[in-house]
Amino acid sequence: MEEKTEITEMKPVLTPTGRGSMYDIPKIWVSQTTGDYSVKPTQRLRTRIISEFIAGASRLTDLSVLTHILGMCKIGFEKILEKKDYEIKLDSEVLFEEMKRAVDNYIEFDSWRKALGGSPSISALAEMHLHLDELVGISDAYYDGNMVQTAKEIIMHEYDSHVNVQDRFLDNAHTNDRPATISLEDVCGSSKLMVSYNPGRKLKDLKEKEFYDRINKIHHKRKADTAQSNPKMIVALGGMNKGTPEEYKNMIDKIMSSHGGARIFVGTNSFKDEENEGGKCYKHVLCEANAVSFNENEIRSVYHDLGGDRTEDLADIVQKFHIQAESNGYIPKTGQIIICHTEGGAIAYRKPIEDGDENENDCDKQKKMFEEALEMAVGGASFRYMNGRFGSSEEIIDFSKTTCRAYDKFSHLFGRSINELPEGMCGAVSYDLTKPGTPIPQGSITGAGATFDGILVSYLAPLI
């Protein structure tokens, strides 16, 4: 049966410069960046590339390392067949260069898509682009963390005419590291096999003095602008896969001890490593966050680790997430927001606040703000995939006017239609980018979740 689709215009969205000062809140994305390369080989070609890489690796490393690489490749191919992402992590620059050579043998390097990588950097860029061409300047978004050589080269090349973007990224501690990720994406855009080399991206590599000094600098500027002693700012963790939960908690504690007005947003990564399993991450970090954004696999994983049934409908998992956490003895942050994004759209649910704390008008206003944030985030991620670049707020709205929505896909993935969501839950339906007549996507699925998060935080900032 053909999936139901329909063109539904996004409601008019005001830009932050027209929405009032409550949106003028610094967002600091921490704490790592890299260079991203992506290609879209066929399944057969992907197999050839990996086979050639393994053959080359066998001449460059010992048997134990090669056996480990073979194991990761096997798991990666299994995950791709399940339409899931998988990352093969290499510890050797020589092996990573061999992987680049294997890909280049079949797909010339000049035709690879090259972009700034690392979830925090992608999220910061997505927000900056919402208003990049306005005379008033860019949104109040920053990247804070080490500036590695691969990322610096991309920033200098891609944003040579945007001094503001350069300043927001390059005013950081520079290192000589050259981390990068190669993504072999499914031609249909449903999943990707990633091969990465990650020197300088771990939390233990962070130049801490420069990192915390930059947060202090942004905080003091905010104090001067608002004349407030403890102004609000959002510290956004784009992923938690570059350190242990204990290391991330230590970083958050240091920030909060100096900046009580800070709010914590976390965009999660997969919880496949033992040291980063979902229950441990929830205990140390997610429980303390003001807002957490998951994809489908991530929220099912954490819900399972908290004792829930991962096979429940997504809408039910999101609604019951706080209850499940509390049944394990955790006390989620008051008013914590849980967001889940999928290829079918996104939903958000806020932990209920005690009766009497909010009136009906406040609830209606917040509902509209949630809907606006989700619509823009879903639209912005789809726009980037279709066009191969970030969109401005106006471009995202125009995109929504001419693109069909995938209502059946939303219902299938969340277990509810957009009109049947539980009370207090908001949602946004994604776009049908496979409908006959739809242009061939020019972009990459790499960074789709981070793009979603960056735009979401821009519009949801007053409620975090």
What is the residue extent of each domain of the chain? 5-37+117-463, 42-106
For the residues 156-183, what does the mean pLDDT come to? 88
User: Rounded to 5 degrees, what are φ and ψ at 6?
Assistant: -165, 140
Tokens 């230590």 appear where?
A: 250
pLDDT band at 362 (very low <50, low <70, confident <90, very high): confident
Is pLDDT at 360 greater than 80 in this prediction?
no
What is the per-residue pLDDT for 5? Answer: 54
Each residue of 47-84: pLDDT tens digit? 999 999 999 999 999 999 999 999 999 999 998 888 88
Question: How many Å apart are CA 208 and CA 200, to the nearest integer?
Answer: 13
Q: Which range, of 266-270, 415-419, 444-448, averages the lowest pLDDT? A: 444-448
Task: Kindly report the average pLDDT of the chain as a whole number.
Answer: 87
On whether the CB atoms of residues 410 and 430 are closer than 8 A, the answer is yes
pLDDT band at 20 (very low <50, low <70, confident <90, very high): very low
pLDDT band at 190 (very low <50, low <70, confident <90, very high): confident
Give the helix/strand (H/E) hosting 52: helix 43-58
Write down the CATH superfamily of domain 5-37+117-463: Ribokinase (3.40.1190.20)
pLDDT band at 13 (very low <50, low <70, confident <90, very high): very low
Helix (H, G, I), strand (E, B) or coil at 327: helix
Is pLDDT at 277 greater than 80 in this prediction?
no
Is pLDDT at 315 greater than 70 in this prediction?
yes
Helix (H, G, I), strand (E, B) or coil at 364: helix
On whether the CB atoms of residues 242 and 177 are closer than 8 A, the answer is no
On whether the CB atoms of residues 324 and 306 are closer than 8 A, the answer is yes
> Virtual CA dihedral for 215, 283, 458, 412, nearest 10 degrees?
160
Q: The pTM is what?
A: 0.87
pLDDT-above-90 percentage for the chain:
61
44 to 48, 81, 189, 191, 441: CA distances (angstroms): 6, 13, 16, 15, 21
For the residues 106-114, what does the mean pLDDT come to? 90
Tokens 């539904």 appear where?
A: 8
The half-sphere exposure of 216 on its side-chain side, counting CA atoms within 13 A, is 9
Is pLDDT at 15 greater than 50 in this prediction?
no
On whether the CB atoms of residues 287 and 259 are closer than 8 A, the answer is no
| Cα angle: 234, vertex 235, 237; to 5 degrees | 135
What is the per-residue pLDDT for 241? Answer: 82
The alpha-carbon radius of gyration of the chain (Å, integer) is 21
For the residues 361-379, what does the mean pLDDT come to? 89
pLDDT band at 396 (very low <50, low <70, confident <90, very high): very high
